[in-house]
Amino acid sequence: MSTPVFAPPGDKHELETGVLFSPRFDKDGLLPAIATDARTNDVLMMAWMNEQALALTIETGIAHYWSRSRNQLWKKGETSGNTQKIIELRTDCDQDVLLMKVEPQGIGAACHMGYKSCFFRILPTGKTPDDKLELEMCEDAPMFDPKEVYGKK
């Protein structure tokens, strides 16, 4: 997949008001993609797609990302079984973010830590911002043990 798949971004007016899908990848060739649970509307995760991952997501209807830490294409849930079936795909006003409504497959844990959502910790508000702010857990126990699913790390 060496030639660009998608239309190159047009000018600001075209991007914001036109009908042509022309995703704006950043200087590293990546685009943030937010996955929400189609049933509850909860945000499950945010990860990154390159052009290949986005093309595969559209083609297969299953979320694919680009792993920045592993530097490789990442079919979400390939190891854990917790894949994400695409129900709806949107882009934002200037076409540099994607929003996906997904139907979580498997046991439905989006986070590699075993939680349903990666956003399992709250930062209490009304505090003075400093270097001692503490997070609070806001999800139940993990749905799987990462060590069992991915092996010891």
| Site for a second copy, rule CB under 8 A | 4-8, 16-21, 32, 34, 36, 40-43, 45-46, 54-55, 58-59, 61, 86, 88-93, 97, 99, 111-113, 115, 118-123, 125-136, 138
**Cβ atoms of residues 83 and 105 within 8 Å:** yes
Q: Pick between residue 7 and residue 107 the one whose CB is nearest to a second copy.
A: 7
**Cβ atoms of residues 49 and 33 within 8 Å:** yes
Q: Pick between residue 72 and residue 132 the one whose CB is nearest to a second copy.
A: 132
Q: Nearest approach, Cβ of 111 to a second copy (angstroms)?
A: 5
Q: Nearest approach, Cβ of 7 to a second copy (angstroms)?
A: 4
Nearest to 143 by CA among 112, 103, 121: 112
Q: Nearest approach, Cβ of 13 to a second copy (angstroms)?
A: 9
Alpha-carbon distance 83 to 104, whole Å? 6
Q: Nearest approach, Cβ of 78 to a second copy (angstroms)?
A: 18
**Neighbouring C-beta atoms of residue 54, cutoff 10 Å:** 22
Alpha-carbon distance 119 to 89, whole Å? 21
